[in-house]
Structure 1
Amino acid sequence: MVLGTLGIRKSIVVGGIALLALAALSLPGEAGVKPGDFITPENSAQVRDLVSPGVFYRVQHGMTMKIVPTVRVDWPPPYKDATEKYSSQVELSKDHRTVVGYVAGQPFPLIDANDPDVATKVVWNNVFRPIQSDDYDLRYFDCDTVYSGYNKPFFEIAYGQLGHYAGYDLVGRTEVEPLPTDPDFKRTNRLWLFLLGPELAPQDARGTSLLRYRYADPAHGDDTWTWTTGARRLRRLNESINSSATGAQTWDPDHYSGFNPKTEQYNYKFLGEKEMLATVDAEHSPEIRCATDGGASACPERWQMRHMYIVTAEPRRSVNNSEALDSKTVIYMDSEMWFEPYIDTYDRRGELFRNHVYWLAYRDRPVPDAKVAIYPFKREFVVGASSQDVQSSEATMCYLPGIETPERECWYINMGAVDRAFFTTEAMVKMSEVGHM
């Protein structure tokens, strides 16, 4: 991987961050844990400075951790090759908001904490990340919504099962033809396409789906549609809905897969880099329901020390996301796998609002008994994701794949499992009306 080119690690003050806070971030983590430790609410103080405030809240409320040795995470070889071939020609635009000259791979493999644009470059690396570059289709997964609490019994207040969590990238393709750019990009300017649905449960929501397009034009907001079975009509959504959780859910579309709103609509600040705990090599797939926090997370699971870049994202209130519920998102970015193991969001009063955790497994197949989704190299798979409202204690835990699922393979990444034709309003309506795959 290109990690060896990062050079001497140090942090800087950006945007008036206090020197004391800087020192806390720039010093190597004086780990209060070692491999073999088991973290519970009783000894949670050991990880207070090794996780985000939102993750620490979870540990205090029952999520346990098994501390294991750190493993190296390599990129998929095609993605690494594309980075070496194209990254030297990539730069930020004159307004320092978007990328110019990008083809495929990681746009900015050389991360320098002294670079005044380091925060923006970290976020663009997240946009074109190695976890997937061409297409993906997660088939059959389920989510439980609960109220968390230490030793609180599992009580489900809402349940959902969905048929697809799927995406198609038109730019930066590294494994499946057309490479490296789908010709449709020149005609439509779409960067990626996304579809969630149809809902298979609960019954009263069966068939509901969401379709979303992201554009390369900084001034072109996302196009988002939903099909609701009860209304039996296609509805165009206001862009602000992507940053708002609705119903008995704590998820919003901008955080389904880490930090995912339109990049140019936010201002970024680099807080520093630090050794912190994360799950990048999960033991379980499917994940197991945590028995000690009411089912709000996956535990016990393996956590290890990782080198993280820490960036804040604040919405530019003059653009389309002016109705965003979050005043700030703090992004914790793993410097090897380039996916955020967790993020914290803050409400408009500046108080901690929601924490999102993503448990990832590093292997050559998503589940041990896979027959089709098998790769000639290891790659990262998100096997669990949880969104926690720390103000109400409500949490939604999603299992990827579902605990009980008719589709054992679940994740199909960069295998051509879906194409552009899968991501049209017509296809979404047809699939939703049938109410199944």
Structure 2
Amino acid sequence: MESGIAGFRKTIVAGGLGLLALLALSLPAGAGVKPGDFITPENASQVKDLVSPGVFYKVQRGMTMKIVPTSRIDWPPPYKDATEKYSSQVQLSKDHRSVIGYVAGQPFPLIDANDPYVASKVVWNALWRPISTDDYDLRYFDCETVYTGYKKPYFPVEYLQEGHYAGYDLVGRTEVEPIPVDPDFKVTNRLWLFLLGPELAPQAERGSSLLRYRYGNPTHGDDTWSWEPGTRRLRRLNEAMNSTATGAQSFDPDRYSGFNPKTEEYDYKFIGEKEMLATVDAEHSPEIRCATDGGGSACPERWQMRHMYIVTAEPRRGVNNSEALDSKTVIYMDSEMWFEPYIDTYDRRGALFRNNIFWLAYRDRPVPDAKVAIYPFKREFVVGSCSSDVQSGQATMCYLPGIETPERECWYINMGAVDRAFFSTEAMVKMSETGHM
């Protein structure tokens, strides 16, 4: 009789080969596109059924696509090893909202579309994704807010530059000590820590920062603080504000990196599986400003057919997110890299509200000329992200690394670049006031 780990390995290998065979068969036969095609607004109908409604909106408004062959995306070896070691002990709680027994790696590596709780498992897999497991520090990136339109001249409404987009995971650690769980988790019950800031531009907002803690307790909402240099005031934010766009940006904190609100505060429904287009091996880093939609996206970029799980998330009324502006979010989850290439959000009337697209690169360094951020294996890097309000035409496009920033390497993932002490209100205020990075 096979051991659990051996059986797990065989299942993963067989599943991966089966998926590649499915992609190889489906792309030429009925995908509507083939490698070498170039998609513009004039032939956008070719991809209408291969992307989300929000992405199709972007193509209609001028975002172009270069269709390339499908490639395989492998997990970082430490994450794969942790999945084999710990996944067999993970299960959903009795109410199917929380996870029990999780240590590290992917909690639910075997996804069965017939499982009544498959939607929840897909979302929990996204929480503990392989892209980063220990810590990350995105240094110096910039974003531009524009009003998009086909062949509309580039005209920014707002430009901003941030010093850090950083996070620290206390659970699920695979590459940097302490592994696999930071002892602080048993004391504070914090799952992860996040900091955005200080804002470096525009000058009027210089020093603004956001700090956020996520907890393991399913009934403990996120703790979030902002520092506002104008008032020199540390402000505690209502959790519902994490689901709301802020300022001139279209982004909200719950969608900075895919779908990221507190998992237990939503109800999930599995819509199905589908071959769809996404960017998982981007050609450019830094990304390039799209010249054909007014700077509202990254284009032209490489898009390939991917196997996606589609899940809807609806806010549970009466909990901490009851003031959320959206009625539901449709999550499109890549089944290999376990990151959302795009998500669509609908308002309370059920109309398409916002679209978020993430362009990812698969390589052993974030930029070709990196000298420090170099890894012994390939991993995914988000090199561009865009949030578009489809009702107003406003879009915020972020470049990671930035187009006009002093830091070239930008992404430091699982390198110990930040530690727990970096994510305190005191450290945030000090960094915001002094401007020291």
TM range (shorter): over 0.9
Q: Give, as a single letter, the amino acid of the residue that structure 2 aligns with 1:218.
A: P
Shift in alpha-carbon separation, 1:425–1:378, aligned structure 2, 3 A: same
- The answer to whether structure 1 residue 125 and structure 2 residue 153 are counterparts is no
Measure the CA separation in 2 of the matches of 1:326 and 1:130.
28
Measure the CA separation in 1 of the matches of 2:121 and 2:360.
23
Residue equivalent to 1:66: 66
- The answer to whether structure 1 residue 52 and structure 2 residue 52 are counterparts is yes
How far residue 9 of structure 1 moved from its aligned partner, in angstroms, is 8.9
How far residue 77 of structure 1 moved from its aligned partner, in angstroms, is 0.1
- The answer to whether structure 1 residue 142 and structure 2 residue 142 are counterparts is yes
Are 1:258 and 1:343, in contact at CA under 8 Å, matched by a contact in 2? Answer: yes
Residue equivalent to 2:245: 245
Q: Give, as a single letter, the amino acid of the residue that structure 2 aligns with 1:95.
A: D
Shift in alpha-carbon separation, 1:407–1:7, aligned structure 2, 3 A: closer
Q: Aligned ranges for residues 80-119 of structure 1 at < 5 Å?
A: 80-119=80-119
Residue equivalent to 1:273: 273
Residue equivalent to 1:357: 357
- The answer to whether structure 1 residue 409 and structure 2 residue 390 are counterparts is no
SS of alignment partner, residue 124 of structure 2:
helix
**Aligned residue pair count:** 421
Measure the CA separation in 1 of the matches of 2:266 and 2:306.
26
Residue equivalent to 1:380: 380
How far residue 5 of structure 1 moved from its aligned partner, in angstroms, is 5.4
Instruction: Give the TM-score taking structure 2 as reference length.
Output: 0.95
Measure the CA separation in 1 of the matches of 2:259 and 2:36.
31
Measure the CA separation in 2 of the matches of 1:243 and 1:212.
13
Q: Aligned ranges for residues 326-365 of structure 1 at < 5 Å?
A: 326-365=326-365
- The answer to whether structure 1 residue 225 and structure 2 residue 225 are counterparts is yes
Residue equivalent to 1:37: 37
Residue equivalent to 2:189: 189
How far residue 436 of structure 1 moved from its aligned partner, in angstroms, is 4.0
How far residue 435 of structure 1 moved from its aligned partner, in angstroms, is 2.5
Residue equivalent to 1:321: 321
Q: Give, as a single letter, the amino acid of the residue that structure 1 aligns with 2:32.
A: G
Residue equivalent to 1:288: 288
Measure the CA separation in 1 of the matches of 2:433 and 2:49.
49
Are 1:200 and 1:436, in contact at CA under 8 Å, matched by a contact in 2? Answer: no
Q: Give, as a single letter, the amino acid of the residue that structure 1 aligns with 2:375.
A: Y
Q: Give, as a single letter, the amino acid of the residue that structure 1 aligns with 2:155.
A: F
- The answer to whether structure 1 residue 236 and structure 2 residue 236 are counterparts is yes
- Residue deviations 1:201-243, cap 9 Å, x none? 0001000000000000000000000000001010100001100
Shift in alpha-carbon separation, 1:404–1:127, aligned structure 2, 3 A: same
Q: Give, as a single letter, the amino acid of the residue that structure 1 aligns with 2:177.
A: E
Q: Aligned ranges for residues 200-215 of structure 1 at < 5 Å?
A: 200-215=200-215
Measure the CA separation in 2 of the matches of 1:225 and 1:203.
21
Are 1:163 and 1:436, in contact at CA under 8 Å, matched by a contact in 2? Answer: no
Identity %: 83
Unaligned runs of 5+ in 1: 11-26
Residue equivalent to 1:216: 216
Residue equivalent to 2:6: none
Measured on the aligned residues, the alpha-carbon RMSD in Å equals 1.5
SS of alignment partner, residue 103 of structure 2:
coil
Measure the CA separation in 1 of the matches of 2:58 and 2:436.
35
Q: Give, as a single letter, the amino acid of the residue that structure 2 aligns with 1:108.
A: F
Shift in alpha-carbon separation, 1:243–1:179, aligned structure 2, 3 A: same
Instruction: Give the TM-score taking structure 1 as reference length.
Output: 0.95
Q: Give, as a single letter, the amino acid of the residue that structure 2 aligns with 1:203.
A: Q
Unaligned runs of 5+ in 2: 1-8, 20-24
Q: Give, as a single letter, the amino acid of the residue that structure 2 aligns with 1:373.
A: A
SS of alignment partner, residue 129 of structure 1:
coil
Q: Give, as a single letter, the amino acid of the residue that structure 2 aligns with 1:206.
A: R
- Residue deviations 1:49-105, cap 9 Å, x none? 000000000000000000000000000000000000000000000000011000000
- Residue deviations 1:113-149, cap 9 Å, x none? 0000000000000000000000000000000000000
Are 1:136 and 1:418, in contact at CA under 8 Å, matched by a contact in 2? Answer: yes
SS of alignment partner, residue 326 of structure 2:
coil
Are 1:67 and 1:303, in contact at CA under 8 Å, matched by a contact in 2? Answer: yes
Instruction: Give the 4+ runs in structure 1 shifted more than 2 A.
Output: 1-10, 27-30
SS of alignment partner, residue 172 of structure 1:
coil
Measure the CA separation in 2 of the matches of 1:3 and 1:145.
42
Measure the CA separation in 1 of the matches of 2:228 and 2:106.
37
Are 1:214 and 1:223, in contact at CA under 8 Å, matched by a contact in 2? Answer: yes
Q: Give, as a single letter, the amino acid of the residue that structure 1 aligns with 2:404.
A: E
Residue equivalent to 1:22: none
Measure the CA separation in 2 of the matches of 1:234 and 1:300.
41
